[in-house]
Amino acid sequence: MSAPQDSSNVEPKEVSSFERWRQRAAWVTGLGLSPEDQKKREEFNLLKGMESDWKRCEKWKTELLHNSPAVVFMMKQLQLIDCNVTAEHLQCHPCHKVSAGGFSPQHGILLCQDGFFNKKHMEDTVVHELIHMYDHAKFKADMTNIKHQACSEACVRMRAVASLVQNPACPGQAAAEKAVDEVWDSCIKDTRPFDE
């Protein structure tokens, strides 16, 4: 039987293996990392999380475009008015959880990959933004005009006001409420494309 070796007799290859194991353990747990390595670990985990959010968003987007009756309906209605929207017009990006999505005539539909509670929430957001796209294409709605946006949002008064307040062109809560009130009677009656 041989005597136990002290660490001074351990060969460099074994120390190297142990050190690699220790570094991996430190990386996983975050314990024992230098401030520089801790920052690298946080950046890595952030990027890994963003990649995971993006993959989930893209997967759900594809599924909704093929399987959601409401999304398929809106896509068809857009095609009927010569607005040939494709999956590429719906872009998944990180938004730092400030919203679930948005519509821009120049850029299409933004889907906030880190802003969805679940697939149903994403579906509701996609339909909501497709309605904005429809209103813009059919009625030339100008989303920088808060009255136009209020009309497009008028499916639910509270949501319309909340959405307007987030518009940089809206000076505040009072202006948002006023805009919604001014267009409410005419816009609430307009249920296109759902009644066509």
Question: Tens of pLDDT along 59-97?
Answer: 999 999 999 999 999 999 999 999 999 999 999 999 987
Supply the pLDDT for residue 99: 86
Share of the chain above pLDDT 70, in %: 90
Question: Tens of pLDDT along 127-142?
Answer: 999 999 999 999 998 8
Range 140-154 average pLDDT: 83
Supply the pLDDT for residue 44: 92
Q: What are phi and psi of 107, to 5 degrees?
A: -115, -10
Average pLDDT score over the chain: 87
Residue 75 token pair: 């896509």
Report the C-alpha gap between 194 and 133 in whole angstroms. Answer: 14
Supply the pLDDT for residue 14: 64
Which is nearest to 60 in space by CA: 125, 108, 107? 125
Q: Provide the pLDDT confidence category of residue 23 given band limits of 50, 70 and 90.
A: confident
pTM for the whole thing? 0.71
- On whether the CB atoms of residues 149 and 164 are closer than 8 A, the answer is yes
Could you give the residue numbers annotated as active site?
129
